Amino acid sequence: MLAAPLPQPPWGLLIGLYFIVVGLPTGLTLMTAYLGPGPGEQRRSVERRATATSLAVLGLASVLLVVDLHRPERFFLMVTEFGNLGSPISVGAKLIAIKVLLLAVALYFLRRRGKPAPGLTSWAVRGLTAALLVVSVALTFYPVSVLSFTWSSPLARTNGAYLVFLVTTLLMGAAGLLILIGLRTGPPEVDRLVRRAGLALAGLQLAGVVFEGWSLTADPAVPAGTLHRVLAGDYAGLFWTSIASVGFGAALLAPRTGRGRGRIAAGVLLLTGAALTRYLFFTVR
Amino acid sequence: MRWGMLIDLRTCIGCHACSVACKAEFDVPLGVVRDTVKYVEEPTASSVTRHFIPVLCNHCTDAPCLNACPTSAITRKPTGEVVIDEGDCNLNRFCMSACPYGAIYEDPEREVAQKCNFCEHRTAEGLEPACVTACPTNCRIFGDLDDPESDIAQRAAANETTVWKPEAGTQPNVLYIDPRNAIPLIADQGVQVDTDADLPGS
């Protein structure tokens, strides 16, 4: 059993927020791909807003990363010296940079009302979509890959961790879409698709958490008593709040037709639950 | 060639000459250490035994800090020791999160991550690390673990040796002769001194 070798963990709240925030743009991209292209300005509007939100939140995540550096003036090393491809942070920084570029290009195409630039074939557009998907899938697992390297996040070293991060990423994406749809009423078919995805992912979240709990008891590298501290100890409040948040969010999604406020509330609750679950992985020692 | 250190716990007297020499050699700031000595009490049925266990960076063969560092500020020299290049360090602190020994600290004055480097400036001149030279009981032996004729290799072969936190799987190059099985007593500790016992104002 490996215990904490330092009096305080080297990373604090800023990096904790980073690991939460970086899930939203990834989830939005993946859920937008799940919706697929569709006719109509309303559909394209949802896609535009999701892409723009992804870009903005990814920028915020990058700012969090730079501000957290104890030598932020050396942030340029992320570009000039991040050559160690064995380091998940190095790979993640490159993936984020690539995704920012891809999102910017995608947003440009979307603002042209779906019309490709002169001379640009549909293959290029498909290539862009495929590249966004590949990078987003990689970014889904990047945070848990980083945390699994550390002694300060024993929850991240289990088999269940990767499943939980996949589900919370998708759940954050679905929640983000619900909020976007609720703010400006989206087309009914989008509402239906996102509602179904949200309910399914809420159920998967519960399954993922149960699997993670089993993984904690089965893994000898995890400090004894960790599961108890999550369920009934120091971290119980955080854990059960995340479960309740996802549960109430799913309950608000249950009606087949919903108003804007209902969708926004469901989205906020699901987003909060997914975020708190990810934060648990970061903060549980 | 692979620099390593063998520490004989049978002869360590806990005098801290090694940690003082290290502090002086590198002007290590207050509150952090590159090398220290753990005092560990082990109660038995009728008495208490005190063990002195010097700890430092283990210059692991499979160094998690080296794998973690995104800027390649942490590298391995041809002689095997793992060192930090201050110029490439932006204090993202991933190395500190990855090291299971707590060997890396944040130097508040130089604003970089720092740790023991086996006194590479001394070994490059044919000298031994400062802690080895300072030890009055010669409990620290430094040398090339890959040279079967070296003192360290011969002592390691002649005695049963162990390492700190073998379950971490890092293959440390700091070995211990530990017949009283004291190393497991610090399985939950790190190199950096726990300052919880400090008095207010210190």
Cα-trace Rg, chain A: 19
Q: What is the CA radius of gyration of chain B?
A: 17
User: Interface pTM (ipTM) of the complex?
Assistant: 0.85
B97 interfacial to chain A (CB closer than 8 Å): yes
- Residues A29-55, mean pLDDT to the nearest whole number: 87
Q: Residue B7: which H helix or E strand, with range?
A: strand B3-8
* Chain B residues within 8 A of A1 when measuring between CB atoms: 167, 187
Tens of pLDDT, residue by residue over B49-96, are 899 999 999 999 999 999 999 888 999 999 999 999 988 888 889 999
Q: Chain B contacts of A74, Cβ < 8 Å?
A: 89-91
Chain B closest-CA separation from residue A152 CA (Å): 7
Of the candidates B126, B26, B31, B139, the residue with the CA atom closest to the CA atom of residue B84:
B26
Residues in chain B with CB shorter than 8 Å from the CB of A4 are 188, 190
Nearest in space to B101 (alpha carbons), one of B187, B21, B42: B187
pTM reported for the whole predicted model: 0.89
* Tens digits of residue pLDDT in A174-189: 999 999 988 877 778 8
- Does B110 contact A at CB distance below 8 Å? no
> Does the CB of B168 have a partner CB in chain A at under 8 Å?
yes
CB contact under 8 A, A221 and B167: yes
Residue of chain B nearest A152, judged by CA positions:
B97
- Nearest Cα of chain A lies from the Cα of B123 at a distance, in angstroms, of 27
In chain B, residues with a C-beta closer than 8 Å to the C-beta of A146 are 94
B174 burial level (CB within 10 Å; 0-12, 13-18, 19+): buried
A152–B97 C-beta distance less than 8 A: yes
Q: Is B198 left (phi over 0), alpha (psi -120 to 50) or beta?
A: beta
| Span A148-173, average pLDDT | 92
Residues 6+ positions from A112 with CB-CB distance below 8 Å:
none
% of chain A residues with pLDDT over 90: 51
- As a whole number of angstroms, the distance between CA B63 and CA B176 comes to 18
For position A79, what pLDDT does the model report? 65
Map tokens 């640009």 to a residue.
A120
| 8-state DSSP, B193 | P
Is it the case that residue A53 has pLDDT exceeding 50?
yes
Residue of chain B nearest A6, judged by CA positions: B102
